[in-house]
Amino acid sequence: MSDADRRQAVRTVLLTGFEPFDEQPVNASWAAVQAVASAWEGPDRLLTRQLPVSFRGARQALRTAVAEHAPDVVLCVGEAGGRFAVGIERVALNLIDARIPDNEGSAPVDVPVVAGAPTAFFSSLPVKACILAVRGTGVPVEVSHSAGTYVCNATFYALMHLLDGRPGVRGGFVHVPRTPEQVADGPSMATADAARALVALMRAAGADEVRLSGGVED
């Protein structure tokens, strides 16, 4: 491989996390993204962005970052209270139904993320290959079939809508559990574990999909 080829083989990965919301002092997703960035050794070029917990602002910030940096992979990460495992989201739904207002006070109910756009998009990550890669780290991981109806799902949908028709760019969304510091009693995951999972996932993002059962009955 020539130097020029090698340079071309280096991908740009955009990794995003969210600011705190719901009266939490931190957001586990941003803590994990920061942990990944501080230990990053390449070879991929890593860009990180903290997104606002805002229906309007998150998608705008994401669109700007994608336009500026033309990443090959976009991985958005959010925090999910009540989960034990890293959840690789499979489906982005064109629906907002806010249980609590976003950080700008906006709480839309039963409106589309993008009016007139398809009902749903699938992640363009090889979800099962990513599951296998994360399993290899020993961190608990599962396929998730719903990213909810709040800012994370809306951002995931906006991302997949943006990347629709750009087959060269892979994008997806991952939820991480809250950190042990956030949770007195209930499921949590150490930031270092969430970060390890994210690194494995990013490395698998360009892989071919594999056949592996990840379904649920209910």
The CA R_g of the chain, rounded to the nearest whole Å, is 16
DSSP structure string for 158-201: HHHHHHTT-TT-EEEEEEEPPPTTT-SSS----HHHHHHHHHHH
Q: Given 76, 79, 130, 175, which residue is catalytic?
A: 175
Collapse the DSSP code of 125 into the 3-class scheme (helix H, G, I; strand E, B; otherwise coil) and give the result: coil
94 binds ligand PCA (CB under 6 A): no
User: 52, 57, 78, 172: which one contacts ligand PCA (CB under 6 A)?
Assistant: 78
Q: Near ligand PCA by CB under 6 A, which window of 105-113, 128-136, 145-153, 199-207? A: 145-153
Query: Could you tell me which residues come within 8 angstroms of residue 154 by beta carbon, excluding any fewer than 6 positions away?
Result: 55, 58, 59, 96, 113
Residue nearest to ligand PCA (CB): 152
State the minimum distance, in angstroms, from the CB of residue 70 to ligand PCA. 25
The answer to whether 178 and 188 have CB atoms below 8 angstroms apart is: yes
Nearest CA to 126 out of 79, 156, 88 is that of 88
SS3 category, 80:
coil
Which range of residues in 62-70, 72-80, 186-194, 200-208 is near ligand PCA by CB under 6 A? Answer: 72-80
x/- letters, 21..40, toward ligand PCA (CB under 6 A): x-----x-x-----------
Give yes or no for residue 55 binding ligand PCA (CB under 6 A).
Answer: no
The answer to whether residue 156 forms part of the interface with ligand PCA (CB under 6 A) is: no
Q: Bridge-partner residues for 100, per DSSP?
A: none
CB of 207 to ligand PCA, least distance (A): 26
Closer to ligand PCA at the Cβ: 80 or 130? 80
Of 87, 148, 171, 177, the one binding ligand PCA by CB under 6 A: 148
Burial class (CB within 10 angstroms; exposed 0-12, middle 13-18, buried 19+) of 103: middle
Distance separating alpha carbons of residues 164 and 154, to the nearest angstrom: 15
Binding residues for ligand PCA, rule: CB under 6 A, are 18, 21, 27, 29, 53, 78-80, 148, 150-152
List the catalytic residues. 89, 152, 175
